[in-house]
Amino acid sequence: MKVVVCVKQVPDTKGGVKFNPDGTLDRAAMLTIMNPDDKAGLEAALRLKDQYGAEVTVVTMGLPKAEEVLREAIAMGADKGILVTDRVLGGADTWATSQTLAGAIRNLDYDLIITGRQAIDGDTAQVGPQISEHLGIPVISYAQKITVEGDSVVVERQYDDRYHVLKAKMPCLITALAELNEPRYMTPGGIFDAYKAEITTWGRAELKDVEDSNLGLKGSPTQIARASDKVRKGKGEKVTLDPTESVAYIMDKLKEKHVI
Amino acid sequence: MDFTLSKEHEMARTLFREFAEKEVKPLAIEVDETEEFPRETVEKMAKAGFMGIPIPKEYGGQGCDVLTYAMCVEELAKVCGTTAVIVSAHTSLCCDPILTYGTEEQKQKYLPDLASGKKIGAFGLTEPGAGTDAQGQQTKAVLEGDEWVLNGSKIFITNGKEADVYVIFAITGMIEKRGRMTKEISAFIVEKGTPGFSFGTKEKKMGIRGSSTYELIFTDCHIPKDNMLGQQGKGFGIAMHTLDGGRIGIAAQALGIGEGALDRTIAYVQERKQFGRAIGAFQNTQFQLADMATKAQAAQFMVYKAACTKDQYTKDHKTSYNVEAAMAKLYAAEMAMEVTTKAVQLHGGYGYTREYEVERMMRDAKITEIYEGTSEVQRMVISANLLK
């Protein structure tokens, strides 16, 4: 069994957020961590490795610095790391990112692809499902539990108040929630091994079946109008009414603001 | 000379710090209050590989260097002195002598379970009448057929009741040395559950209260002849060499305790207001902090230097590290005592309460000046090297 896990190096929000003049994140200037949902996805893959001897390949797209997140994944127990990095890939939105990752994954053999549900920097939850679309394989998102049954996966897909049990034949893609599991720690020996491991680096040339027009900032339909660190909240309004009147007042306000 | 840590060591520090913050820190007050051994934390450390950091992979360890191990103890000690000494005593005082002096069979038999944390290790040298004067011991081992029979007791044993494997020292005879009869001391590996091996009093300690410090009692305790560690009569040398390594672990523990107290004090003085200003705005506070940080940094250099020197010994089996280890322990322990005392002072009345962790850290720091060789013993080791 071969599992590909997509991980993203994201800003550690504890260290503050910095932006480039064009509104994109200044990733080089921030402390980074492995995106929590992706880490849960990696842990799910490593459990498949423990249970079925699966081979786990971790793929990331980013600056050369993103190599660190692959070393971390190897220190946790992943077998291989692939870094997709190229100047022409910079400034990618979810569309261009998923095109890039799909282009990289086309070079690999896989039964299962696991991505995190969403990254804490963009919060879009689009890249995983888009990759599956580009590769023409089924996707089960929001996985809170994953089991393998023969050539299929059975996944509990989380909703606010319930979950669905879905079964899909492999190859398929699953997007993982941070709640899926408690990721293991790296081991000290694993860290030293990870720095001896070779990280495969791919650029634009290695991406398979992807048009230039779908890559990087130019291939990104999303345009960032404005970005800011913290949104200043309004002062708020204090109203003293009885409960029935209060509810009616709030409902009117919500309608006025087009919330409902 | 390059003072920069490698990327591997930096990542290892991140790991230890994250583990300490998430798994150890939340329990530190409770461990101190209840004096209960943090078994669940030890199990988690075992899973993460912390119980066998400098043990080679062929014996189930992590295959890392002594520096990585010292950094682990340091980071654990920043949040909990008890947890740090559990790892230190297990690794330096039990795994290390078995690795250094054990036969291949002994290494294969004991190290994989110790390095994986499936079993915990301890070391028994101290006796009621034999502390700094290790020659003063009374525990005896007599060979009867294929077995050694142990009689006597050991006190102040870290990991005492929780350990599974013990390195124990006992008198195996009398030998003539420079015209005088002296005790011949040998080392043994004793397993928990061996008939005749029991536990005595649990010590009620000032600090590191969760570390399970017990008396070990041997009454006609029969152990296989093959459980002698190293050669007969070489026990004293084994004990001294083991303690040289152990001192690096305790120095790292002291370093961590001092750094932990400093971290908390830096945060506190920026929050605490008196006379309308944060107390960190007063020059007295600033100067105290500057002294604390400078000494902690100096201690860190000394501990890391000692660890790197032991690493060199691991490679060439020639480089001596006993003076570096003694200096690191002496300095780090005294730094820990001074820094935690200042930390309590800067916290004022709150620092004297158990709610603020600097109180516990000050109590924990004291033992680092005493165990595995008092500060006075370290001065003896250092000066003996100067005047030889």
Range of the domain at A89: 2-214
Tens of pLDDT along chain A (260 residues) come to 999 999 999 888 776 677 888 777 776 777 889 999 999 999 999 999 999 999 999 999 999 999 999 999 999 999 999 999 999 999 888 999 999 999 999 999 999 999 999 888 777 888 899 999 999 999 999 999 999 999 999 999 999 899 999 999 999 999 999 888 999 999 999 999 999 999 999 999 999 999 999 999 888 998 877 777 666 677 788 888 999 999 999 999 899 888 88
Chain A residues touching B72 at Cβ < 8 A? 188
pLDDT for position A230? 65
pLDDT for position A231? 62
φ/ψ of residue B165, rounded to 5: -125, 130
Interface check A188 vs B, CB under 8 A: yes
Residue among B11, B18, B53 minimizing CB distance to A75: B11
Q: Which of A32, A47, A191, A195 to mutate to test the interface with B (most CBs of B within 10 A)?
A: A191
Give the model confidence (pLDDT) of A80-135 as tens digits: 999 999 999 998 889 999 999 999 999 999 999 999 998 887 778 888 999 999 99
Q: Which of B6, B7, B15 to mutate to test the interface with A (most CBs of A within 10 A)?
A: B15
Distance from CA of B281 to the nearest CA of A (A): 24
DSSP of A44-91: HHHHHHHHH--EEEEEEES-GGGHHHHHHHHHHT-SEEEEE--GGGTT
Stretches where chain B sits below pLDDT 50 are none
Token digits for B230? 């190293």
Token digits for B380? 């003896």
φ/ψ of residue A182, rounded to 5: -105, 105
Residue A177 in any domain: the answer is yes
Q: What is the CATH number of the domain that holds A33?
A: 3.40.50.620
Token digits for B362? 């000050």
pLDDT for position A15? 66
Residue A221 in any domain: the answer is no
Chain B residues touching A185 at Cβ < 8 A? 15, 18-19, 47-48
Chain A residues touching B11 at Cβ < 8 A? 68, 71-72, 75, 186, 191, 194-195
Residue A240 in any domain: the answer is no
Which residues is B364 bridged to in the sheet? none
pTM over 0.95: no
Residue A237 in any domain: the answer is no
Query: CA B303, A74, B249: angle at the middle one, nearest 5?
Result: 15
Spell out the long-range contacts of B29-36 with Cβ–Cβ below 8 A and sequence spacing 24 or more: B29/B354, B29/B357, B29/B360, B31/B80, B31/B82, B31/B83, B31/B209, B31/B210, B32/B82, B32/B209, B32/B210, B32/B354, B32/B360, B33/B354, B34/B210, B35/B204, B35/B205, B35/B209, B35/B210, B36/B210
pLDDT for position B285? 98
Residue A76 in any domain: the answer is yes
- Asked if A187 lies within 8 A of B18 by C-beta distance, the reply is no
Number of H-type helices and E-type strands within chain B: 12, 10
Residue A64 in any domain: the answer is yes
Handedness of CA B315, B319, B324, B325 (dihedral sign): positive
- Asked if A187 lies within 8 A of B63 by C-beta distance, the reply is no
- Asked if B49 lies within 8 A of A191 by C-beta distance, the reply is no
- Asked if A195 lies within 8 A of B48 by C-beta distance, the reply is no
Q: How many whole angstroms from its chain centre is CA A198?
A: 23
Q: Which of B8, B9, B68, B73 to mutate to test the interface with A (most CBs of A within 10 A)?
A: B8
- In what helix (H) or strand (E) does residue B221 lie, and over which residues does it extend? strand B214-224
pLDDT for position B343? 98
Locate the chain B residue with the closest alpha carbon to A67: B7
ipTM: 0.93
Please tell me the total count of domains within chain A: 1
Q: Tell me which DSSP letter residue A221 carries.
A: -
Locate the chain A residue with the closest alpha carbon to B16: A188
Give the model confidence (pLDDT) of B126-182 as tens digits: 999 888 787 889 999 999 999 999 999 999 999 999 999 999 999 999 998 888 889
Verify whether residue B259 is a known catalytic residue: no
Chain A, chain B: beta-carbon pairs less than 8 Å apart: 51
pLDDT for position A236? 82
Q: Distance (Å, rounded) from C-alpha A234 to C-alpha B276?
A: 30
Residue A198 in any domain: the answer is yes
